[in-house]
Chains A and B, each alone.
Chain A
Amino acid sequence: MASLLVNRGLQVIVGRASNTADSFTEIIAGSVDDNATGFTATDTALDSVGTVTNSAAVAFDATPTRSAQTTTHVFTFGTGVANFTHKRVALHNLASGSVTASSTSLVGGTDGLTFAKTSAFVVEYSVTIALTDNS
């Protein structure tokens, strides 16, 4: 089980901060999928490694918040969507309507979950990114 930013996600963060010529879009969507394979640093899409049978992406509930060096992204799947077993949660720098299993939009996320969602529940995820001194 791992929670990480992939290399592409780190590039998005430093590229956006310095407004590099890459013109990365900001982190604007969250997803769930049923890929049982863990994230690795070189992943750029949900299906970079392993198989994605089901996936769903949504925009954030509100503009992400920041406290000190931590940003928080909250997104919610309603009763009619994402009704499959959630195994991974991820962030993307692509509009939710364009996020697919193969879209090159992966920033990072958490794998190793197991939650079988049904229409009886709304599911809310909160994903934080924290930068701390490690010297």
Chain B
Amino acid sequence: MTGHALGLKVSVTTTGRAIVANPDTTMDEAERQILEAGNRIIERDDATRSFLFYHDESEGDGIWVCDHCDFEDFDLAKVEIHEAGHKRNEG
């Protein structure tokens, strides 16, 4: 049998990004607002003034630790920032 006759896999992947609407709002303030609302942040992008809050794909099995405290659950929660000013230390 050749080609794809034996099986076809259908995959759906979603990415969600929040973009700061008010140009006068600082990224730190926006980050605080998102986290205070109980949301998670996977990635902060200052260049586009946006926060990635959902992505289907796993970031891998690495264990990340916070650069401010002993929080180390980043790999399971897929978050980069667990509270305002506290982000994973990839070093």
Contacts and interface: CB of A to CB of B under 8 A. Distances in A.
A4 B9 CA distance: 11
User: Which of the four size classes fits the interface of chain B?
Assistant: 20 to 34
Given A114-B38, A115-B39, A116-B37, A134 B17 contact: no
Contacts, number: 104
Contacts of A3: 11-14, 56
Contact of B11 (A118, A126, A132, A135): A132
Contact of B18 (A109, A114, A123): A123
Contacts of B33: 118, 120
Given A4-B10, A130-B11, 9 more contacts: A86-B16, A113-B54, A114-B39, A115-B16, A120-B21, A126-B15, A132-B8, A135-B5, A135-B6
A106 to B, nearest CB: 12
Q: Is the interface of A mostly helix, strand, loop or mixed?
A: strand
Interface of A: 3-5, 10, 79, 86, 89, 108-110, 113-135
Contacts of A130: 10-13
A126 B13 CA distance: 8
